[in-house]
Structure 1
Amino acid sequence: MPRRAHIAMVSIPAHGHVNPSLELIRELVSRGHRVTYANDASFAEVIAGTGAELIPYRSTLPRPGVPVQGWPEDTVAQLDMFLDDAMSMLPQLRAAYEHDRPELFLYDIACAPARILAENWGLPAVQLSPTFVAWEGYEQDMAAMVEWLRTDPRAVAHHRRYSDWLAGCGVADPDSLRFVGRPQRGLVLIPRALQPHADQVDRQRFTFVGPCFGDRSGQGSWQRPPGARKVLLVSLGSAFTRQPAFYRACLAAFGRLPGWHVVLQIGKHVAPGDLGAIPDNVEVHPWVPQLAVLEQADAFITHAGMGGAQEGLYCGLPMIAVPQDTDQFANADQLVALGVAQRIDTERATPEALRSALLQLTEDPQVAARLSVIRKELREEGGATRAAEVLEAELLPEARATAVR
């Protein structure tokens, strides 16, 4: 029987970094490869569910069930926290894999140690990106940010410390900005439609495979109520749900709106009693199996996190984007640029604005036509199957020849 290839996945203990990889890992295991997954033990159960073997390391990052100080607000402090974790991770990974070297390292964007080991040991490495990647001309287009990174004293100190560490680890090009943003090879787990300047992305370096969605039946199901002509899901994800005033605005906008049934996810910080009277056409939940609802919905109000944005496109839904933080503002603007969404910032999310946007989006045939094209393109990107094929092609020749297909 042909020898299996050993593929080592390395990620940090954060759901937004682990979850996008899970279906790809499950696909690789199903193809007969031996997959080890290096992460903090707090993610042992999630990783075991894919069939991969956990390689535990002790992370210094905030993580489930561990009383570590939370994420700082300051950007440089956040960068320093990731760098400290990488420095702590590297010797642990080196010890774990020194005598069990993989044929291929697969690593999350926050896991520089995997690429360092691959370079030290002469192994191929592929970066997994759950968000958009740099394009040709990125430095010029993002000049203000790049200038800040190059000139702010604290950012400069971080960059110098990172680059000095890379040089000490034997990395050929130790510039930290290039090292993080310009991997030798990368898989991009978002739709090309959500990538800024997608036509300027180096296709020799990056391959877009789209989101790797899998079976989510374990999350539960949802059934469209009989008689509901149209369904709207309102969800601000899991981290930005302390918004009772916004939820009340949604109830005023869509409660008793003829023909519409509303699924309102409010998270764990707001109680239904904080919302006042709930109209008969609205169901309120702290959490819902989002993709199961979206597959039966007609519109989506989202905070435009990367996961929600791509799920909305995958299901071909017009969206009202209400961004809350970080990359959500850029995602919202990208959805608007695609012609499939309207952006309404939280402070402007009045009942009148929300209702007007919903009716405009869902009654515009051009929006429907654009969504149909994007939905088709996204599903043709290949997901986990395509990603696994790309990874198998990256294996060293001797591993590729004997790897199970």
Structure 2
Amino acid sequence: MSKVLFMNLPAHGHINPTIGLVKELIAKGEEVTYLTGEEFREKIEKTGAKFKSFKFYLDDKDDDEDNLRSDLPYEVREAIKMLQRVVKTCKSVFDAVFNDEEKYDYLIYDSMFIIGSEIGKSLSLPTICSHTTFVKAFEEPSNPGEMPLYMEEFRHIFDSIAELERTYGIKFPDIISGYPMAEGMLNLVYTSRYFHPDVKGIDDTYKFIGASIADRNEKVDFPFEKIEGKKTIYISLGTIFNDSVEFYESCFEAFKDMDVKVVLSIGNRIDTGVFSSIPDNFIVLPYVPQLEVLEKTDLFITHGGPNSVNEAVYNGVPMILVPQYADQFIVAQRVEELGAGIIIDKDKLNAGLLKQAATKIMSDESFRVSSKKIGDSLKEAGGIKRGADEILEFVQSCREE
């Protein structure tokens, strides 16, 4: 039995794909300690893993960072605030890891856990990187804009980073010029080679293991009888960009007269009272058991998050994609390229475009066939069992060196 420390961001799209892998590692005799945000304690502990938490300051909007010059451009102010939160989050992680008396045999971390590889070097541990999105999806060079004109305003961030480096003996990644994605000595990618776009720098340390679809240990009441045997559209913008009342109103207008049932997940940041009216053929809830609903869905309208897309194609569900941010544009583009969906620009979206795209997809079987082809490639890639086997084989090879 080996002891593993798994470090991850406290976000559903990063946590959910790893749940099955953690269970599989534990089933094979590994002792897993999972470090993430406190809100995921129950979900992690249900896998059998030990739970450790760190403070994730990137969600902290009401902090004490407003002592910045009032004449700074908005983009500069927001960049400084974000970097301050990144540094504070990293310090919280360092405190949790380096004050831990447990001795681990290897380290697993998410590809957006940018300090993962440096922690591995500091602890002299074999490292495995968990890629829940496409490899290098965030590594487009950032547009510096006016940033160089205000570098003095970033001075305290540089000083904080230097202090962390001295205290913990860690080389901090360059977070000023962009957001580097982490890599490991072994890299597990939760998709198939067929679905993944061609990217430079992918070598044999990258193992494409398909989608990690597993029970999320959730008990959510849902009226499945209302969609049984009916044409069903499921709409969800994920857990981050789900507060767009205007988008939801467009959905109401687009589908209120169609002979379909529409399941709409709106999250917990808005109340149904904000809507002028909800059509009778809609089921509107703050949270929906997505895996189970997708099994009964004919069309999925999504933000294009990698996890949501994987779950859709796993069930052969075609999509309308309304990407909001970063990797979602790349994932959506790949879905459209492979014939499994249609992209609608979020800034041009209206009820007419939604209805037109939905009608086209639901009347053309080729979209479902293409989605199923992607899904089959994910299933054939080996899944969580292959992922666990790759990890154990890699760790054993490190011991033999």
Using a 3 Å threshold, how does the CA distance of structure 1 residues 213 and 219 change in structure 2: closer, same or farther? farther
Residue deviations 1:270-321, cap 9 Å, x none? 4444434443332222221111111111101112222222222222111111
Shift, 1:326, TM fit: 3.6
The answer (yes or no) to whether the contact 1:267–1:285 under 8 Å persists in 2 is yes
- When the two structures are superposed, what TM-score results if normalisation uses the length of structure 2? 0.80
The answer (yes or no) to whether the contact 1:12–1:40 under 8 Å persists in 2 is yes
- The correspondence for 1:35, drawn from 32, 35, 46, is 32
Q: Secondary structure of the residue that 1:346 maps to in structure 2?
A: coil
The answer (yes or no) to whether the contact 1:303–1:324 under 8 Å persists in 2 is yes
Q: Secondary structure of the residue that 2:353 maps to in structure 1?
A: helix
Using a 3 Å threshold, how does the CA distance of structure 1 residues 228 and 248 change in structure 2: closer, same or farther? farther
Q: Does 1:20 align with 2:17?
A: yes
Alpha-carbon separation, structure 1, partners of 2:104 and 2:116: 11
Q: Secondary structure of the residue that 1:369 maps to in structure 2?
A: helix
Alpha-carbon separation, structure 2, partners of 1:147 and 1:62: 21
Q: Which has the higher helix share?
A: 1
Alpha-carbon separation, structure 2, partners of 1:148 and 1:159: 19
The answer (yes or no) to whether the contact 2:300–2:318 under 8 Å persists in 1 is yes
The answer (yes or no) to whether the contact 2:254–2:355 under 8 Å persists in 1 is yes
Residue deviations 1:34-72, cap 9 Å, x none? 11223354543222111111244x4252569x97679x9
Shift, 1:187, TM fit: 1.5
Q: How does 1:145-156 map to 2 (within 5 A)?
A: 145=142, 154=151
Q: Secondary structure of the residue that 1:348 maps to in structure 2?
A: coil
Q: Secondary structure of the residue that 2:108 maps to in structure 1?
A: strand
Q: How does 1:1-400 map to 2 (within 5 A)?
A: 4-56=1-53, 58-59=54-55, 61-62=57-58, 74-75=78-79, 77-97=81-101, 100-134=102-136, 142=140, 144-145=141-142, 154=151, 180-192=181-193, 195-198=196-199, 200-216=200-216, 218-220=218-220, 223=224, 225=226, 228-258=229-259, 260-397=260-397
Gaps in structure 2 of 5+ consecutive residues: 66-74
The answer (yes or no) to whether the contact 2:227–2:296 under 8 Å persists in 1 is no
Percent of matched pairs sharing the same residue = 27
The answer (yes or no) to whether the contact 1:305–1:331 under 8 Å persists in 2 is yes
Gaps in structure 1 of 5+ consecutive residues: none
Instruction: Look up the equivalent residue of 1:10 and give its one-letter code.
Output: M
Superposition RMSD on alpha carbons, in Å? 3.8
The answer (yes or no) to whether the contact 1:89–1:113 under 8 Å persists in 2 is no
Alpha-carbon separation, structure 2, partners of 1:328 and 1:112: 19
The answer (yes or no) to whether the contact 2:319–2:340 under 8 Å persists in 1 is yes
Alpha-carbon separation, structure 2, partners of 1:281 and 1:210: 35
The answer (yes or no) to whether the contact 1:132–1:194 under 8 Å persists in 2 is no
The answer (yes or no) to whether the contact 2:227–2:261 under 8 Å persists in 1 is no
Residue deviations 1:144-182, cap 9 Å, x none? 538779978649977898699669866799777898444
Shift, 1:108, TM fit: 2.3
Alpha-carbon separation, structure 2, partners of 1:329 and 1:185: 26
The answer (yes or no) to whether the contact 1:10–1:37 under 8 Å persists in 2 is yes
Using a 3 Å threshold, how does the CA distance of structure 1 residues 167 and 178 change in structure 2: closer, same or farther? farther
Residue deviations 1:226-253, cap 9 Å, x none? 7744111112223323223322222222
Using a 3 Å threshold, how does the CA distance of structure 1 residues 117 and 273 change in structure 2: closer, same or farther? closer
Using a 3 Å threshold, how does the CA distance of structure 1 residues 395 and 322 change in structure 2: closer, same or farther? same
- When the two structures are superposed, what TM-score results if normalisation uses the length of structure 1? 0.80
Q: Secondary structure of the residue that 1:283 maps to in structure 2?
A: strand
The answer (yes or no) to whether the contact 2:195–2:374 under 8 Å persists in 1 is no
Using a 3 Å threshold, how does the CA distance of structure 1 residues 202 and 152 change in structure 2: closer, same or farther? farther
Alpha-carbon separation, structure 1, partners of 2:273 and 2:315: 32
The answer (yes or no) to whether the contact 1:190–1:208 under 8 Å persists in 2 is yes
Alpha-carbon separation, structure 2, partners of 1:39 and 1:319: 31
Instruction: Look up the equivalent residue of 1:7 and give its one-letter code.
Output: V
Shift, 1:28, TM fit: 0.9
